[in-house]
């Protein structure tokens, strides 16, 4: 049976992914700040080390897939630390444990929010992986939560999507036989969005920003199934793709650009 690591496994999309993989007979090592096999806070260096050490210990040194799902949507610097640097630490930190697998796979969760307005300076700092400078920039953006603060989340997701494009074909990933891909969900009903979509008014406002003509707001399991395919044995040649699972928001916003 495959052994998969799922970060953010205690809630929402990560929880649904863990449940689906377990239903398929896989062993899952969950990582989260609570209710997980490996309890680790991915926002700082100590937590990122604890993640790698915990997974190494529990897996015996060999894993088959990494699903980097953990994330925050708050207009705060912590969102930069977890979404971008926590995700990179997960994938880069666990990559060597994938080398013993017959079918190693890596997937991260970006967002259709990568298509929404972002902060150019923050995206540039993430592009060069300068965490102290990126956190300092986010600190400034966070001072106006409603306006500039809202750019933080989109910036982290745009930077993640670009990171996948830059990394996927390198010797470390494709060259090592590891497909690296991302999913980019639209609005998914999870604790992250619960408050926003609780009222008709809230749903309408959000769907105006994130139009989902195909079937509207989705359940976590919809994203989990795509993640499980990208991270499963069947995926031998999908490489460096950002797969939108968004009810059409990407098509509406970007039209025929491919
Ligand atoms: P969620 O809040 O239900 O789950 C996120 C999980 O990540 C939680 O269990 C949380 O404890 C964990 N987490 C947060 N900070 C952490 C930290 N410092 N260290 C370790 N774990 C931490 O949210 P969700 O909607 O399931 O989101 C999962 C992923 O999907 C996120 O990356 C999010 O950005 C992305 N996403 C969500 C939506 C949506 O509409 N819900 C849309 C697009 C992308």
Ligand 1 atom nearest to CA at 13: 26
Residue 178 has a pLDDT of 98
The pLDDT of residue 175 is: 98
Sheet holding 180-185, edge to edge: 38-39, 27-32, 3-7, 65-68, 105-109, 180-185, 242-245
Q: What is the pLDDT of residue 211?
A: 98
Mean pLDDT of 216-232: 98
The pLDDT score that the predictor gives to residue 181 is 99
Q: 16 CA to middle of ligand 1, Å?
A: 12
Among candidate residues 79, 77, 180, 209, the one with its CA nearest the CA of residue 138: 77
**pLDDT at residue 5, rounded to an integer:** 99
ipTM: 0.99
* Catalytic one of 67, 84, 153, 244: 153
In tens, the pLDDT along 104-145 reads: 999 999 999 999 999 999 999 999 999 999 999 999 999 999
pLDDT at 105: 99
Q: How far apart are CA 26 and CA 170, in angstroms?
A: 28
Structural domains of the chain sorted by starting position, each given as residue range(s) with its CATH number in brackets: 3-115+157-249 (3.40.50.720)
Nearest one of 159, 93, 91, 162 to 122, comparing CA atoms: 159
Given pLDDT bands bounded at 50, 70 and 90, which one contains residue 51?
Answer: very high
pLDDT tens digits, one per residue of 233-252: 999 999 999 999 999 999 99
**Whole-number Å distance between alpha carbons of 94 and 66:** 8
153 annotated active-site = yes
Instruction: For residue 11, report the distance from its CA to the centre of ligand 1, in Å.
Output: 7
Mean pLDDT, the chain, rounded, equals 98
Contact 254, 49 (CB under 8 A): no
């Amino acid at each position: 049976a495959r052994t998969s690591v799922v970060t953010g496994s205690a809630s929402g999309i990560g929880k649904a992914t863990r449940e689906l993989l377990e239903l398929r007979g896989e062993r899952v090592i969950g990582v989260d700040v609570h209710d997980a096999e490996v309890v680790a806070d991915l926002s700082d260096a100590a937590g990122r080390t604890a993640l790698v050490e915990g997974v190494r210990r529990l897996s015996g040194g060999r894993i088959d897939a990494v699903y980097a799902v953990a994330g925050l949507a708050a207009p705060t610097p912590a969102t930069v630390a977890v979404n971008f640097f926590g995700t990179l630490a997960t994938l880069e930190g666990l990559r060597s444990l994938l080398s013993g697998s017959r079918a190693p796979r890596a997937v991260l969760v970006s967002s259709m929010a990568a298509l929404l307005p972002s902060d150019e300076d923050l995206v540039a700092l993430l592009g060069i992986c300068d965490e102290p400078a990126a956190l300092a920039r986010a600190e400034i953006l966070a001072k106006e939560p409603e306006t500039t603060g809202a750019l933080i989340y989109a910036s982290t997701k745009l930077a993640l999507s670009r990171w996948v494009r830059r990394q996927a074909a390198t010797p470390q990933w494709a060259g090592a036989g590891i497909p690296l891909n991302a999913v980019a969900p639209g609005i998914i009903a999870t604790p992250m969005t619960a408050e926003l979509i609780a009222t008709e008014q809230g749903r309408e406002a959000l769907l105006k920003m994130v139009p989902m003509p195909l079937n509207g707001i989705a359940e976590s399991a919809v994203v989990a199934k795509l993640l499980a395919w990208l991270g499963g044995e069947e995926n031998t040649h999908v490489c460096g793709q950002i797969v939108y699972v968004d009810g059409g928001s990407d098509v509406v916003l970007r039209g025929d650009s491919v």
